[in-house]
Structure 1
Amino acid sequence: MMPAYFFAHGAPSLVLERHAYTDFLGDFAAGLPKPKAIVLFSAHWEHTTQTVSTADTYETIYDFSGFPDALYRITYPAKGDRKLSEDIRALFDKHGIPSRFDGERGLDHGAWAVLKLLFPDAGGIPVVALSVNRHLTNGEQYRIGSALAELREQDVLIIGSGGTVHNLRRLSWGAEIADDWALAFDAWLQEKLEAWDTAALFDYRSQAPYALDAVPTNEHFIPLLIAMGAGSRNRTATLLHRSYQLGSLSLSCWQFD
């Protein structure tokens, strides 16, 4: 069965950078059976109704400003998979999750920056992009992932793209070591994920140290809960990588078997 994954996407410039995390992403696909397709939830596509892309070929969205010109020349014209999109909506219907199609939206940087590093050949694997909804409970986020878990049996790779510690106001420019508060939050998160303690994780804002510093708004945390939900059958969480930029911007990868 194909594992589900959470990948931090950091800053949009991630795709131009070279460090331990980008090296990890570049080597990742070599150890993974080629997926039949990729289903990806990005923190940068928000909608109040769960939305499923039906794009035939994705445009590349540059949803940022002030970055090097080279970043605006990168494209990731991945193909969609209409049949898979329809299967996803059928699974949502089966689990009582309202959903809708969108055939117009391209891939935002939360999707294409990660995919470009993981699978540089955009034409090789079809992609279905999905939105996130910050207004749902954490349990409902998990249930969205669980609804799609059976796709893993069809060699479909489910990815959540976001960030566990993502507070742009707390970045420490020029910092070479991680801030203590960011380390404390991620350590708590690791303990609860490895124990599959959903009760604590769903209540992380009350229980985790520095939760409001690490997760000031929840859109970047949601993809972790969705990816975890997709691994809810075997309930095994493994941290594959964790490093930091600018003191607190967490770059991590979690595998859910």
Structure 2
Amino acid sequence: MLGEECDSAAYWKKCGDEALAHGIKGVIIMGAHWDAVGDKIRVATNPKPDKSPVAYVHPSKYADYKLNPDLPTAKRCIAALQAEGFNVEPDASFNWIHDTYLILIRMFPGGCPPTTIISMNARFDPHYHVKVGATLRPFRQENYLLIGSGGAVHNLYRNKWGPMLTYRDNFAQETPPEAWALEFRQAVEDVITTNSGPKLRRGMTRLMKHPLYRDAHATDDHFMSAMFVAGAAGDVEDEGTYGKMYAEDWELVRQTSLRSNEIW
């Protein structure tokens, strides 16, 4: 998704341009590859983070992009989460992973805005992560952009790796996506586009009980960012604001991008 052009990348750029036009103060983002064990959640406070390498992507695509950790906002997020009872702590050694900086490079190629990264919790409780988003929702009123970075369908065990390994072509579609992937993808779109306010939160958490959820997500990590977004955009004050399908791509014969009125 970082190495090749695609519809989702073009849409992320549009979102970034709109965010800059509205003078955003910063970004608060939850990705799909950083989780804390036990009952904890962490907030990145490394002042000079490195980047984890991206497989199959040449370093020239990302190595020189300067990261911009927002330490003051990180402290504020920690305080807000602590006030709501979360066992949260700073992590001054965390290095950024492609699930976050990939999005930022696509959205803000001219320079990374001040950014705070929030971890998941490894128990992957959907209601826990909705509450994280709900707790940080007031930052929207201060012109922060809240982003959840994950995949609507993400099952590495069912990927078709041949085209990538042979041709380095992650978008090759030698066979169409299978019924289990298409069905769950449709369920996700239906929830996002037909629910608002608290119904959006309930609908997103309920998707983890969908009969095809475990087929679509062999692990829960890529779905928790959706819970974070539902919490951030699912308050009573958000009633009447519905998500839309803006871009979609399938990678290795699985879906990698489904975008709502927030980023996910």
TM range (shorter): 0.7 to 0.9
- Residue 87 of structure 1 aligns with an amino acid whose one-letter code is R
**Correspondence 1:58 to 2:49:** yes
Higher strand share: 1
Secondary structure of 2:259's counterpart equals strand
TM-score, normalising length: structure 1: 0.84
Quickly say closer, same or farther: Cα 1:136–1:179, change in 2 above 3 A.
Answer: closer
For residues 70 and 253 of structure 2, the distance between their equivalents in structure 1, rounded to whole angstroms, comes to: 39
Instruction: Quote the Cα distance in structure 1 between the aligned partners of 2:227 and 2:213.
Output: 15
Contact 1:61 1:106 in 2 (8 A): yes
Aligned residue number for residue 202 of structure 1: 205
What secondary structure does 2:51 align onto?
Answer: coil
| Aligned partner (choices 26, 36, 40) of residue 25 of structure 2 | 36
TM-score (norm 2): 0.82
Which SS does the other structure have where 2:2 is aligned? helix
Q: Aligned runs of 1:152-191 on 2, under 5 Å?
A: 152-172=140-160, 173=163, 174-175=172-173, 177-191=176-190
RMSD across aligned positions (CA): 2.2
The alignment partner of 2:226 has SS state of: helix
- Residue 164 and residue 134 in structure 1: after superposition, are their counterparts in 2 closer, same or farther (change >3 A)? farther
Q: Which moved more, 1:235-244 or 1:150-159?
A: 235-244
Residue of 230, 242, 249 corresponding to 1:243:
249
Q: What is the number of equivalent residue pairs in this alignment?
A: 240
From the superposition, tell whether residues 45 and 238 of structure 1 become closer, same or farther in structure 2 (CA, over 3 Å): same
Asked which structure has the greater RCO (Cα within 8 Å, sep 6+), the reply is 1
> What is the SS of the residue equivalent to 1:220?
coil
Give me the whole-angstrom Cα distance separating, in 2, the residues matched to 1:78 and 1:137.
30
Contact 2:30 2:147 in 1 (8 A): yes
Alpha-carbon contact 1:245-1:251 (below 8 Å) kept: no
- CA spacing shift, 1:197–1:157, aligned 2, 3 Å: closer
Looking at structure 1, the residues matched to 217 and 23 of structure 2 have their Cα atoms a distance apart, in angstroms, of 33
Query: Identity of paired residues, percent?
Result: 20
Alpha carbons of structure 1 residues 72 and 47: separation in structure 2 relative to 1, 3 Å: farther
Q: Which residue of 2 aligns with 1:103?
A: 92
Greater mean deviation of Cα atoms: 70-79 or 146-155: 70-79
For residue 107 of structure 1, report the CA deviation from its aligned partner. Answer: 1.1
Quote the Cα distance in structure 2 between the aligned partners of 1:231 and 1:199: 12
- 2: CA distance, partners of 1:71 / 1:218: 31
Displacement of 1:256:
4.2
Aligned counterpart, 1:11: none
- Choose from 10, 15, 21 the match for 2:8: 21
Query: Partners of 1:136 and 1:83 in 2: how far apart?
Result: 27
Partner in structure 1 of residue 233 of structure 2: 231
Distance change (3 Å), C-alpha of 1:36 and 1:50: same
Take 2:120 and 2:135, find their aligned partners in 1: how far apart are those partners?
A: 14
- Residue type matched to 1:161 in 2? S
* One-letter amino acid of the counterpart of residue 183, structure 1: L
CA deviation map 1:82-108 (0-9, x unaligned)? 221111111112211110001221211
Q: Is the 8 A contact 2:147 2:262 kept in 1?
A: no
User: How far did residue 197 of structure 1 move?
Assistant: 4.7
Does the 8 Å CA contact 2:201/2:227 hold for their aligned counterparts? no
In structure 1, the gaps of 5 or more residues are 1-13
- Unpaired runs of 5+ residues, structure 2, are 164-171
Change (3 A) 1:20 1:256: closer
